[in-house]
Amino acid sequence: MHHAELEAVLFLAGDQGIDEKNLQDLLDLSSETLETTVQDYQNYLQQDDQRGLQLIKVNQTYKLVTKPNMASVLKKYYKKDMQVHLSQAALEVLAIICYQQPITRVEIDEIRGVASQAAIQTLNARGLIAENGKKDVPGRPKLFVTTDYFLQYFGFESLDEMPRIEEFKTESLIDTSIINQEEVNEL
């Protein structure tokens, strides 16, 4: 019974979605009942091949989105490639913002050693980052952060699911350089 109400509210909420507490209040459900209802509805959408939607949760916000296998028909609808890949520069900037947010363009440029304005504009236009205030320093530069769409795009529910930056500092990189040096010494 609650599935119809849940679907109607999520449909009206659109891309913005609706946060857990508001959804609970609107449907007049306990936290436990809402969780069960959401899980049942997610399973229903996932298991039915005739349904083109799925229910996701991003930063405590629920939203209806299209299933990934609907991409081909949606590409036809929009008459453009919906799977546009990000450039290496854009991915670098996105990683920096993700792990250093909030951060200014100048700070990003300093980390990368090159200008990042074009990549920032691309990421902003794609909705993966957004301006979030200004830094309290001379010139009051804009601060950038990742968006909920960033989480959705990469399949994360929250920033807590991101790999810790320490995980990237693997000893295998050091071992490889030592092995390469030994190989050079043998030559």
In a domain, 140, yes or no: yes
The strand pairing partners of 129, in sequence order, are: 146
Give residue 81's pLDDT: 44
In a domain, 59, yes or no: yes
Q: Which domain holds residue 49?
A: 2-71
Chunked mean pLDDT (size 10), the chain, 187 residues: 87 87 93 93 93 92 90 68 71 94 95 90 89 92 93 86 72 43 40
Report how far residue 4's alpha carbon sits from residue 83's, in angstroms, rounded to the nearest whole number.
31
Give residue 126's pLDDT: 85
Distances 122 to 30, 112, 127, 130 between C-alpha atoms, Å: 42, 17, 9, 11
Give residue 152's pLDDT: 85
Report how far residue 96's alpha carbon sits from residue 92's, in angstroms, rounded to the nearest whole number.
6
In a domain, 173, yes or no: no
Same domain, 60 and 18: yes
Give residue 79's pLDDT: 53
In a domain, 43, yes or no: yes
Contact 100, 89 (CB under 8 A): no
Give residue 127's pLDDT: 87
pTM above 0.75, yes or no: no
Domain total of the chain = 2
In a domain, 93, yes or no: no
CA atoms lying within 13 Å on the CB side of residue 110: 6
CATH of the domain at 43: 1.10.10.10
From 27, 51, 71, the end of a domain falls on 71
